[in-house]
Structure 1
């Protein structure tokens, strides 16, 4: 590749690689996606109500169902897969890597990515937050209370309604996290969109922003996306094998 190296008396400069990940990167870990052919929303359209903010806040039965769903969530049993591990290997090689994820499962961090290099656009399922006083605590603590007989556990600080520290339908993304993600997209020289339909905004727009600012855009997804025409490469192969191979090639070439 050209344009990625400094003068001979300086160490080579490696390009910034940004990796936007969606639900498809975690399906090999046993976490189903949402909008794919066998996705959660297609199998159970009613499930969307459980993560709609206004419905959640206004209906105690929806909250009780949400807590039961969290008790059964595969996210807490899931382990990082080969794709997550490949991203961590690339970062540990010394290549500048930033992960921007639409996922809430925390598997990038579980695979060893430093917290500061992972931008969780939609929050995390591993923490709960109070909708009144904004106190945060462990999801596992809240689930233990549910298992002990509290079907809709209130905040222990102020008695307010607790929710997962994820961005529900009807909530805005954290403007600071989104702003940082935009900055990464503009600065990236290589931008990968992995396992995402690129249909949920504003996350999806990051691929377009990166391409507009000159990044080489690579999309790995089972189905077509609205941004395929902007990509220099579109890969339809299984993520668990395609991403490790691609990242190993990028590490060698930069």
Structure 2
């Protein structure tokens, strides 16, 4: 831990230290994981008794090769959606929305698929979604967007996996499944944002899922200050300039005002 400048667990000290770094920065990039959304009612994938464990996403190859697996995948998708259907942005989302609105933050790179950064008011072009978005679906053949309400209505009436209304191709939630290639454009944008920032805020991520977890180290390599805000230790704490350990909403609440 000798490379860590400071690990703070007292919320007032954490807020003050973070505020000083944000004030001194001009090109902030935020990187968010599941921890920023847990106070909003969105389940954490790895927590004990997580609904993601009960309704595991179907691997991409299975989804593509077996129509029964596509039907099961949609059943699990809608079961999960029902669990956090009422989720609204939390204090962390609004704090980052304010940083974007003020011009301090140039981009939010997120591992989350819950659409809460958009709901908090962050413009779509400022959000880089590494794992896609679960609030709509796309055709895997032609890319046409499909709305979940339409898909669910037909699925509950027939039980059949949806097909594209234009080309007949397989339709899938616009998320990146296990075994599916990472989105090239999002990865390029995240890389560019990481090497061009002067302050990189890693918030609510376990920082164990690669290649997404490579971006904090990339930013640090290009001389950005690295701050990790999380409830638990992460493998990258030793690379950080500042580690703020505690409730994410409590730490970021003043920046949401």
Tell me how far apart the structure 2 counterparts of residues 149 and 138 of structure 1 sit (CA, whole Å).
Answer: 17
- Superposed counterparts of 1:63-212, under 5 Å: 63-72=70-79, 73=81, 74-212=83-221
| 1:33 aligned partner | 44
3-state SS of 1:71 partner: helix
Q: What's the C-alpha RMSD, in Å, of the aligned pairs?
A: 2.2
- Superposed counterparts of 1:52-67, under 5 Å: 52-67=59-74
Tell me how far apart the structure 2 counterparts of residues 112 and 24 of structure 1 sit (CA, whole Å).
Answer: 19
Displacement after TM superposition at 1:176 (Å): 1.5
| 2:10 aligned partner | none
| 1:17 aligned partner | 28
Cα pair 1:211 1:217 within 8 Å, conserved: yes
Tell me how far apart the structure 1 counterparts of residues 199 and 154 of structure 2 sit (CA, whole Å).
Answer: 45
Cα pair 1:67 1:151 within 8 Å, conserved: no
C-alpha offsets along residues 72-126 of structure 1, whole Å, 9 cap, x if unaligned?
Answer: 3134431111111111122222323310000111100100001110001111112
Cα pair 1:126 1:140 within 8 Å, conserved: no
Displacement after TM superposition at 1:40 (Å): 4.4
Which structure is richer in relative contact order (CA contacts within 8 A, separation 6 or more)?
2
Displacement after TM superposition at 1:171 (Å): 1.3
Cα pair 2:194 2:215 within 8 Å, conserved: yes
Displacement after TM superposition at 1:140 (Å): 2.3
Cα pair 2:58 2:69 within 8 Å, conserved: no
The count of residues paired between Structure 1 and Structure 2 equals: 235
What TM-score do the two structures reach when normalised by structure 1?
0.85
Out of 214, 225, 229, the position equivalent to 2:238 is 229
User: Which segment is superposed worse, 82-91 or 209-218?
Assistant: 82-91
Tell me how far apart the structure 1 counterparts of residues 49 and 195 of structure 2 sit (CA, whole Å).
Answer: 34
3-state SS of 1:243 partner: helix
Tell me how far apart the structure 1 counterparts of residues 236 and 88 of structure 2 sit (CA, whole Å).
Answer: 30
C-alpha offsets along residues 131-162 of structure 1, whole Å, 9 cap, x if unaligned?
Answer: 22322221222122223334312222222211
Tell me how far apart the structure 1 counterparts of residues 48 and 175 of structure 2 sit (CA, whole Å).
Answer: 24
Displacement after TM superposition at 1:60 (Å): 2.6
Tell me how far apart the structure 2 counterparts of residues 167 and 145 of structure 1 sit (CA, whole Å).
Answer: 23
Gaps of 5+ in 2: 1-19
3-state SS of 2:200 partner: strand
What TM-score do the two structures reach when normalised by structure 2?
0.84
User: Which segment is superposed worse, 63-72 or 160-169?
Assistant: 63-72
Change in 2 beyond 3 A, CA 1:21/1:51: farther
